[in-house]
Amino acid sequence: MSASNKNIVILISGAGSNMAAIVRAAQQDQWARRHRAHVAAVISNKADAPGLLVAREHGITTALVDHKAFDSREAFDAALAAEIDRHQPALVVLSGFMRILTPGFVAYYAGRLINIHPSLLPAFTGLHTHQRAIDAGCRFAGCTVHRVTSELDHGEYLDQAVVPILPGDTAATLAARVLSQEHLIYPQAIERLVSA
C-alpha cells in the first residue's frame, strides 16, 4: 500500500464483535501514527445492527445502506460501493456482513476486500461450519482471514488460528472458542496489510 492515509471501511450486519476488536487494536496499537491507517467508517445493511452504536461510541463515522430498499443485488452493491468510496478505502473489511456480494463488486475491490471465515479453510466453506466440523469428527477447528474473490470462501489466506474441538463441544461452545481467536488474528492480519 502507498504511504498516503490508509482508510479502512468495515461492513457489518450485526453486533460487529470483530469490528470492535479491529477498532480497539487500531487505537491501542496506534495504527494512525505508526501506519497512517485508521477505521474511517462502519457501514451496515441493517439499521438495527448493534455494531453501529459501538462504532459511534468510538467516534467512527457510520452509514446505513439497507438492502431491502433495492430491487436487485446489483443495485444494492452499487449503492454500497458509492458509500464505501466516499471514504477512499485502502481496505474494505467484511465483519459479519451477511450479504452475498456480486462478482462485479468483488472485482471492483479486488485486492482490497478481506473477510474472516470461521473454519480452517479450505475445509467447511459456507455456513454451519462449527456443527459440520463436529459432525465430521474433526479434532481441530479454527478461523481463516482471506482475500475475497468471486468464489465463496476462497482467495489468498492471510492468517489462520487453530482451536481444539473438545469432548462434549456444541456448535455454540466451539463458535465461542473460535470467535476469541478471530478477535486476535483479524486485527493482526489487517495491521500487516496496512504496514506494508
Here the cell at position 3 is 504511504
22, 193 contact by CB (below 8 A): no
> Which residue out of 35, 67, 87, 117 is catalytically annotated?
117
Strands 89-94 and 113-117: parallel
Cα 114 from Cα 139, distance rounded (Å): 27
Distance of alpha carbon 108 from alpha carbon 106, whole angstroms = 5
Determine how β-strand 140-147 pairs with β-strand 37-44. unpaired
Instruction: Phi first, then psi: give them for residue 76, nearest 5 degrees.
Output: -60, -50
Catalytic residue check, 117: yes
Q: How far is CA 107 from the centre of its chain?
A: 17
Give catalytic residue positions. Answer: 117
